[in-house]
Chains A and B, each alone.
Chain A
Amino acid sequence: MDFPVFHLDFLGNRYLIAGIAILHVLINHGLAVGMMPLIAAMEWYGHKKQDPRWDKLAYKILFVCFLITTTVGALTGVGIWFSVSLVNPYSIASLIRVFFWAWFTEWLVFVTEVCLILAYTLTWKKWTAQGPESKKRHIRLGFALAFASWVTMAIIVAILGFMMDPGNWLTVNSFWTGVMNPLYIPQLAFRTPLAATMAGIIAMFLILFFTKKQDQFRNDALRAVGLWTLAFAPFVLVAGWWYYTSVPDAMKDNLGVSLGTLEFVDWQTKFLQIAVITVVTILLVVQFAISRPKLLPKVALVVPFVAILWMTGHFERVREFIRKPYVIGQYMYANGLRVEDYALLQRDGVLTYATYSNPLTEAEKAELPNGLSEPERTARLEAIQKGKDVFMNTCTRCHTGHGVNSITGHLQRMFGDQPWTPELTAGYIESMHYAQPYMPPFPGNKAELQLLGTYLQHLQQNKAPIPGAQSVGVIVSGAAAARSPEMTNQTEAAVQ
């Protein structure tokens, strides 16, 4: 509550992060971590066999990866941290405190990786022309790039595992206890072959564009890359099982909701069936590519290509969701409030510690009940304003007012068109954590629960978008905020 609340009322904050993060993972795993060793291996094989066709193919695939990873890949990589800093600065601040040196190291490795991919791509033709010694040096450069790509992933996976289950770090707050969290090694063991398999499928797809149909080399290349894919596939299954069995049972209970939405809890079984069918389809196509590459049409490789992107995207979505109600397991709830602060907040109220208030726009002030006197109207607006502040501070990390995953949508589904009285909604919110364990407990006090209920009642009538601080600014709470640095400053300063 020390930061103004960034909020997207149509798309929702979590979709902003999810969109950027999933795109980045697809690029990072498929085109960098998995693809760089494959390209280096192709270059090495071509050099060993003195077959320039392998060299040309490897360069063409590298060029595609180079273009995408250094533009969209790099932007989304940085974009993840920008977006999470905006949406949940408290969680990222906690992670930085624990993983400062890990992040710093990752930054150094990332810069190295960028330099290596620039050097690897831009020196390819020149070093190839300079003779075998330069070529060997260039191949070593390729494997070094592959290693750097993997190290960046290995460091970040430690942080991702920590967010799911910090393990002993909760009692021993040391850096290495945080790094060696219970899910780190299983998750890394899963992502590494997954990246290699993804790269294999993407490479097979690209081979069809970079070789001619009648060319025997197309068959050889498809066979070799198909074998690469099949060689890593069993490790994906084995490590996937290891990873799944390492996930705490409380998180597995969220699996049904994480795969779809609240309305599709029963979709879990169907999704798992679709996932199995997808894996089988991928295996069949790759097998066919090895056995009868000449008969393989381009469209057949679109299936595993799309399927693996879909599967990985869903895996990331599930990973993000099942750790709820926490954003950092057992340490910080998804609303950005620490577990250990809850007792204080529930006694004093969240507004007591809120530095900023989120002003109502004129559109948000509309749709008040008819027949209110001016004092009643003022009192009503004041209650709505405070209710909105509670909503913004405790709900908007995940929920919108009227957009995707909207709180009004959930209330409409539960209570229909009957009036959403504060008693009705507050009664539900007070106990929702016990009915739906993926929801954090309400962090405020009883009075704030009623204020939130009043605001939700207002939202039933008022459909105006709820702007974030980035659109309408904030009002410094002044003396009302116990932790305000300037306790004597009674003036409200609009910040924009």
Chain B
Amino acid sequence: MLTAVLAVAESAGLFRAVGGAAIGITCIYFLFRAASLTVRSSSITNLYQIALIWIPGVLAICLALTGLYLVTSTEPMTLAYLLGVILFGCELVMLTIAAADLEGVVNAPITPVETA
């Protein structure tokens, strides 16, 4: 919804400010959860499990920033702009999901992240 409103507004400055803030908040939330989980379970996790904690969120941050860059650096309603909007919206959701998934694990008793 936020992405749709920002896209319709067609203001690069507004998108940069609000979109950037949204990524920033979600990003901090994810990084805090991921770091917390990594530290809490450092003795019982392996490299694969650490990758499973970090890679989805880090990739989502990178792609969301790419989407934001596309939106703010191109003319409204061009293909690159629309691609940026979709990328920004989807990756913000993916980042939130990645962080929310970690929250459940962080609040649970210390057990290894079950992967396989």
Contacts and interface: CB of A to CB of B under 8 A. Distances in A.
Interface string A484-496: 0000000000000
A201 to B, nearest CB: 15
A231 interface: yes
A217 B116 CA distance: 7
Interface string B50-67: 011001100110010000
B108 to A, nearest CB: 18
A230 B97 CA distance: 17
A223 B56 CA distance: 10
B52 A227 contact: yes
A292 interface: yes
Nearest to B70: A276
Contacts of B101: 291
B52 A287 contact: no
Interface string A37-65: 00000000100010100100000000000
Contact of B116 (A224, A277, A291): A224
B79 interface: yes
Given A287-B60, A287-B94, A291-B98, A227 B55 contact: yes
Contact of A291 (B51, B63, B94): B94
B48 A284 contact: no
Contacts of B80: 273
Chain B contact residues: helix, strand, loop or mixed: helix
Interface string B68-101: 0000000000011001001100100010011001
Choose among A54, A224, A287, A292 the residue with the greatest number of B CB atoms under 10 Å from its CB. Answer: A287
Interface string A316-356: 00000000000000000000000000000000000000000
Nearest to A286: B59
A227 B97 contact: no
A108 B49 CA distance: 39
Contact of B56 (A49, A54, A217, A291): A291
Chain A contact residues: helix, strand, loop or mixed: helix
Contacts of A231: 51, 55
Contact of B115 (A224, A230, A287): A224
A267 to B, nearest CB: 14
Given A284-B90, A290-B56, A223 B115 contact: yes
Contacts of B56: 230, 287, 290-291
B65 to A, nearest CB: 13
Contacts of B115: 220, 223-224
Nearest to A42: B116
A231 B52 CA distance: 10
Interface in B10-61: 48, 51-52, 55-56, 59-60
A284 B115 CA distance: 21
Contacts of B90: 284
B59 A287 contact: yes
Contacts of B52: 223, 227, 290
Interface residues of A, number: 23
Interface in A261-314: 273, 276-277, 280, 283-284, 287-288, 290-292
A283 B116 contact: no
A217 B101 CA distance: 19
A283 B60 CA distance: 10
Contacts of A283: 59, 63
Contacts of A224: 48, 115-116
A54 B90 CA distance: 31
Contacts of B116: 45, 49, 51, 54, 217, 220-221, 224
Choose among A221, A227, A280, A292 the residue with the greatest number of B CB atoms under 10 Å from its CB. Answer: A280
Nearest to B56: A290
Contact of B59 (A49, A54, A230): A230
Interface in A33-92: 45, 49, 51, 54
A54 B116 CA distance: 9
A277 B51 contact: no
Contacts of B60: 287
Choose among B56, B79, B116 the residue with the greatest number of A CB atoms under 10 Å from its CB. Answer: B116
Nearest to A284: B90
A280 B98 contact: no
B45 to A, nearest CB: 14
Nearest to A283: B63
B59 A280 contact: no
B79 to A, nearest CB: 6
Nearest to A53: B116
Nearest to A54: B116
Contacts of B79: 273
Choose among B51, B56, B80, B87 the residue with the greatest number of A CB atoms under 10 Å from its CB. Answer: B56
B87 to A, nearest CB: 6
A36 to B, nearest CB: 19
Given A291-B56, A291-B98, A280 B51 contact: no
A451 to B, nearest CB: 49
13 contacts: A45-B48, A49-B116, A217-B116, A223-B52, A224-B116, A230-B55, A231-B55, A273-B80, A276-B83, A284-B94, A291-B94, A291-B98, A292-B97
Interface of A: 45, 49, 51, 54, 217, 220-221, 223-224, 227, 230-231, 273, 276-277, 280, 283-284, 287-288, 290-292
Q: 3 shortest A-B CB distances, which residue pairs?
A: A220-B116, A291-B97, A290-B56
Interface of B: 48, 51-52, 55-56, 59-60, 63, 79-80, 83, 86-87, 90, 94, 97-98, 101, 115-116
